[in-house]
Amino acid sequence: GFYRNIILNSPRRRNALSLSMLQALREDLLHDVKSKELRVIIISAEGPVFCSGHDLKELSSEDDVKHHSQVFELCAEVMILIQKLPVPVIAKVNGLATAAGCQLVASCDIAVASEKSQFATPGVNIGLFCSTPAVALGRSLPRKVALEMLFTGEPLSAQEALMHGLVSKVVPEDKLEEETMKISHRICENSKSVLALGKATFYRQITQDLDTAYKMTTQVMVDNLTLRDGQEGIEAFIQKRKPVWSH
């Protein structure tokens, strides 16, 4: 009960982030998210493509501007939601992740990829620049690497994605499940309340200047000590025993 596996399951449509897919993804991310038992969310996909980005059929001129706005606004909401959730979210990538699919990977807290995975933002090649994926990409990659991807549409290999910080680990395909669960198990050994505080603080401080970030995180460290699990962890360390978390 500690894990939630969310599987993008529309392989015939390359797991495109259609409006209905985005609505389902938001619902699954939010489902019982405050439960003490839930500690980790893993996002994976069926088929050879992790996610191809937006469903271009929904972005044709046949649909009106209102519908287009709804698609992009919901997508942005989901990407922001991932980083606001109180539990770590892991992308388990086994295949191609393009455009908003690449954005999804970049928005997750941790990303584990198989060696065959690739990452691209090819919107420029069809006349739709990947401006919203660029938000997540520009916060995960060095600027010049992100801009080369955005300007050319050329993919990064899994190893290149690892080298530049888009993913956390690259493993053989047959080790992908094992490695993802190894990270998940390690996360589950820690206090949910402490992790929730730490995740929220990380994303707050990352956009702040150095002085503001240190001032804010200094107070958070003090607040952390007021948590029951903050005191339990320190007492357990002093007493040389395993902590018993209240979560």
Predicted local confidence at residue 1, as pLDDT: 64
18 and 92: one domain?
Answer: yes
176 and 235: one domain?
Answer: no
Rounded distance, CA 99 to CA 192, Å? 32
Provide the token pair at 53: 């980005």
pTM for this entry? 0.95
**Per-residue DSSP letter, 78:** H
178 and 195: one domain?
Answer: no
Tally of domains within the chain? 2
Domain with 220 in it: what CATH number?
1.10.12.10
The identity of residue 42, as a single letter, is: I
Tell me, yes or no, whether 244 lies in a domain: no
pLDDT in tens for each of the 247 residues of the chain? 699 999 999 999 999 999 999 999 999 999 999 898 999 999 999 999 999 999 998 888 776 888 899 999 999 999 999 999 999 999 999 999 999 999 999 999 999 999 999 999 999 999 999 999 999 999 999 999 999 999 999 999 999 999 999 999 999 999 999 999 999 999 999 999 999 999 999 999 999 999 999 999 999 999 999 999 999 999 999 999 999 999 8
Burial (CB < 10 A; 0-12, 13-18, 19+), residue 82, is: buried
Tell me, yes or no, whether 155 lies in a domain: yes
- E strand or H helix at 101, and its extent? helix 100-107
Tell me, yes or no, whether 145 lies in a domain: yes
* Structural domain for 235, as ranges: 191-239
40 and 100: one domain?
Answer: yes
107 and 221: one domain?
Answer: no
Predicted local confidence at residue 65, as pLDDT: 87
153 and 228: one domain?
Answer: no
Rounded distance, CA 135 to CA 208, Å? 16
- E strand or H helix at 171, and its extent? strand 169-171
